[in-house]
Structure 1
């Protein structure tokens, strides 16, 4: 959203403004995914070459790699979800549900 505040979208015609805004949001989401992947790579390097890497047993090292592979799979799944949304033309993420904060007048079950 930082890029949207820097760019003056009022100079863009109304018909194209929504498309530009959608592209800016997609770029922001991709930057977030890239930042997450860089963090995962740093964790992997630390597990491989860190101070305690030589002290890890084979099972502990395998567990660390499995944790990182699970995190990487989550990132790839979110990327695929983002790509399918972009293909379908959906520019907004699904609304977040507010479960648990019901009005006081409703009965609790």
Structure 2
């Protein structure tokens, strides 16, 4: 997770994002929101530093995150919320597999039913 010697710094808290399973950038790449060629250009932040994203991870291994106000998932359409929870949770679990198996970046993304990856 190093960008040269400095590493990826979180644009929210300023701390280094040491572990890939904490990386919102790579989570967004895995779920198809960031293309591989954008990884060096997009800002990095810890997943928990973006509660609007983190709230959609629903897993016993991930401490739940709540959001108040406009971006609160409880205020969204329940069907859309379930879809987003499924996608983001699968993405977060994929981050853990990527780390454990030390996969190459090209193999990070989820194989989504809607595409031919």
Normalising by the smaller structure, the TM-score range is 0.3 to 0.5
Q: Which has the larger radius of gyration?
A: 1
**TM-score normalized by the length of structure 1:** 0.39
Greater RCO structure (CA 8 Å; 6+ sep): 2
- Could you say which structure has the higher helix fraction? 1
